[in-house]
């Protein structure tokens, strides 16, 4: 039963402008299976919908450009939709909003400067050490990307005070976490850094690149975190956890994120949306170009919520419950007796619990 959009009132929207990318990262989970660009009317409609929900509810409006591809490849679409958001802000005299982008940083410096000036936040995927960046994140033509991303990282960190770097940890750099922070501290001042573990999901599941041994990762992450505590010129977080515990927060899987893909479909989980066989499991709506409206499937939405509640049912009794974002991409789907079964990667939970328990020990020391 497809109901109207009126009953779904998100104030945050994620736009996936394209699946195309100028990089060929060795751990990329995207299949880059489509050459579509998001329809500009669909993009504007999504922004308008979430923005007006925000105006009426007074909840913060948040626009995020995110990739199954590189958003800056769709430069015209990106700049036009940012301008459109600003025009809505003027029209409604409403400034309670933010625009963030996740980018690989492979672009000319004038584009980098434009992002620095026009984004409220920049999340740069950058593996920081030259050798690691060039191994992990080559350009599409197989060229090294370190030099260009380094220069743009300088622009972002100098001109946008809400820039952070997201660094993926694999077997190649697990033992170099402290060194990575030392380098960042020397070259980029106090830019916050998020270490993210490689997950073998989507297209990455068949690639020749591997996550580190979990115990070694935990040990080396904690050493890096201790370095951060001593050295105030750098900040470090783990991608799956908050730095401080928070009780009674609402998990996004219960509200279902409004994430629009380049073909206009609305999906609730990026990692699995990239698993081609199960591409539509988390899809709950789509853009209708004929009437220029989104069609939401509310029955499907409820099914997805039920799946997520089941997947995350053990969280209630988990020791790192109040730290964990529960925003994991390592949700595994398999078919058993013609029924889909879902499960969360156990290694990911084990790592989160260990790091959560380390965070707790810091907190107890602070209190004493």
Residue placing its CB nearer to ligand SF4 in the complex, 11 or 133? 133
Residue placing its CB nearer to ligand SF4 in the complex, 11 or 14? 14
For the CB of residue 320, give the shortest distance to ligand SF4 in the complex, in Å: 5
Residue placing its CB nearer to ligand SF4 in the complex, 97 or 126? 126
Supply the Cα-derived Rg of the chain in whole angstroms: 20
Among 104, 123, 180, 237, binds ligand SF4 (CB under 6 A): 104
**Secondary structure of the chain in HEC code, one letter for each residue:** CEECHHHCCCCEEEECCECCCCECCCCCCCCCCCCCECCHHHHHHHHHHHHHHHHHHCCCEEEEECCCCCHHHHHHHHHHHHHHHHHHHHHHCCCCEEEEEEECCCCCHHHHHHHHHHCCEEEEECCCCHHHHHHHCCECCCCCCHHHHHHHHHHHHHHCCCEEEEEEECCCCHHHHHHHHHHHHHHHCCCEEEEEECCCCHHHHHCCCCCCCHHHHHHHHHHHHHHHHHCCCCEEEECCECCCCCCCCCCHHHHCCCEECCCCEEECCHHHHCCHHHCCCCEEEEEECCCCEEEEEHHHHHHHHHHHHHHCHHHHHCCCCCCECCCCCCEEEEEECCEEEEEECHHHHHHHHHHHHHHHHHHHHHHC
Among 222, 315, 333, 362, binds ligand SF4 (CB under 6 A): 315
Q: How many CA atoms lie within 13 A of 366 on its CB side?
A: 8
Q: Which stretch binds ligand SF4 (CB under 6 A): 220-228, 260-268, 283-291, 309-317?
A: 309-317
Q: Is 41 in the site for ligand SF4 (CB under 6 A)?
A: no
Residue placing its CB nearer to ligand SF4 in the complex, 28 or 78? 28
Among 236, 349, 355, 359, binds ligand SF4 (CB under 6 A): 349
Q: Is 326 in the site for ligand SF4 (CB under 6 A)?
A: yes
How far apart (Å, rounded) are the C-alpha atoms in residues 304 and 325? Answer: 18
Among 13, 17, 25, 256, binds ligand SF4 (CB under 6 A): 25
End-to-end C-alpha distance for the chain, whole angstroms: 56
Among 62, 217, 294, 312, binds ligand SF4 (CB under 6 A): 312
For the CB of residue 251, give the shortest distance to ligand SF4 in the complex, in Å: 10
Among 135, 194, 209, 318, binds ligand SF4 (CB under 6 A): 318
Residue placing its CB nearer to ligand SF4 in the complex, 186 or 346? 346
How far apart (Å, rounded) are the C-alpha atoms in residues 104 and 166? Answer: 10
Best CA proximity match to 304, nearest among 276, 335, 266: 266
Q: Is 234 in the site for ligand SF4 (CB under 6 A)?
A: no
Residue placing its CB nearer to ligand SF4 in the complex, 66 or 183? 66
For the CB of residue 29, give the shortest distance to ligand SF4 in the complex, in Å: 7
How far apart (Å, rounded) are the C-alpha atoms in residues 18 and 221? Answer: 33
- Restricted to residues 126-165, the positions that interact with ligand SF4 (CB under 6 A) are 137
Q: Which stretch binds ligand SF4 (CB under 6 A): 64-72, 126-134, 214-222, 248-256?
A: 64-72
- Restricted to residues 251-290, the positions that interact with ligand SF4 (CB under 6 A) are none
Among 23, 88, 139, 153, binds ligand SF4 (CB under 6 A): 23
Q: Is 231 in the site for ligand SF4 (CB under 6 A)?
A: no
Q: Which stretch binds ligand SF4 (CB under 6 A): 33-41, 223-231, 272-280, 321-329?
A: 321-329
Residue placing its CB nearer to ligand SF4 in the complex, 264 or 356? 356
Binding residues for ligand SF4, how many (CB under 6 A)? 24
How far apart (Å, rounded) are the C-alpha atoms in residues 307 and 278? Answer: 14
Q: Which stretch binds ligand SF4 (CB under 6 A): 5-13, 53-61, 270-278, 319-327?
A: 319-327
Residue ranges that bind ligand SF4, judged by CB under 6 A: 21, 23-25, 28, 30, 67, 69-70, 104, 125, 137, 312, 314-315, 318, 320-321, 324, 326, 344, 349, 352-353
């Amino acid at each position: 039963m497809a109901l109207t959009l009126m009953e779904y009132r998100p104030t945050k929207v994620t736009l996936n402008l394209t699946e195309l990318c100028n990089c060929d990262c060795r751990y990329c989970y995207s299949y880059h299976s489509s050459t579509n660009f998001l329809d500009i009317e669909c993009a504007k409609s999504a922004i308008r919908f979430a923005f007006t929900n925000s105006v009426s509810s007074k909840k913060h409006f948040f626009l995020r450009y995110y990739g199954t591809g590189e958003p800056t490849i769709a430069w015209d679409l990106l700049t036009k939709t940012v301008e459109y958001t600003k025009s809505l802000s003027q029209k409604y005299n409403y400034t309670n909003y933010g625009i963030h982008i996740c980018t690989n940083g492979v672009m000319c410096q004038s584009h980098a400067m434009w992002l620095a000036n026009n984004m409220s936040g920049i999340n740069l995927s950058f593996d920081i050490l030259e050798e690691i960046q060039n191994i992990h994140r080559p350009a599409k033509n197989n060229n090294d990307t370190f030099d260009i991303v380094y220069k743009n990282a300088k622009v972002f960190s100098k001109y946008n005070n809400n820039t952070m770097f997201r660094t993926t940890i694999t077997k190649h750099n697990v033992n170099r976490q402290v060194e990575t922070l030392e380098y960042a501290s020397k070259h980029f001042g106090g830019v916050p850094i998020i270490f993210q573990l490689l997950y073998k999901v989507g297209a990455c599941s068949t690639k020749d690149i591997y996550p580190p041994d979990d115990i070694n990762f935990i040990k080396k992450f904690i050493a890096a975190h201790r370095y951060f505590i001593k050295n105030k010129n750098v900040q470090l977080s783990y991608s799956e956890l908050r730095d401080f515990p928070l009780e009674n927060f609402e998990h996004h899987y219960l509200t279902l994120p409004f994430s629009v893909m380049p073909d206009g479909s609305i999906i609730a989980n990026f990692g699995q949306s990239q698993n081609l066989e199960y591409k539509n499991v988390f899809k709950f709506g789509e853009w209708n170009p004929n009437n220029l409206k989104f069609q939401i499937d509310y029955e499907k939405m409820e099914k997805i919520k039920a799946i997520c509640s089941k997947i995350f049912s053990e969280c209630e009794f988990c020791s790192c419950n109040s730290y964990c974002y529960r925003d994991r991409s390592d949700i595994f789907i398999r078919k058993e007796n013609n029924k889909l079964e879902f499960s969360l990667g156990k290694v990911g939970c084990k790592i989160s619990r260990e790091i959560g328990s380390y965070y707790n020990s810091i907190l107890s020391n602070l209190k004493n």
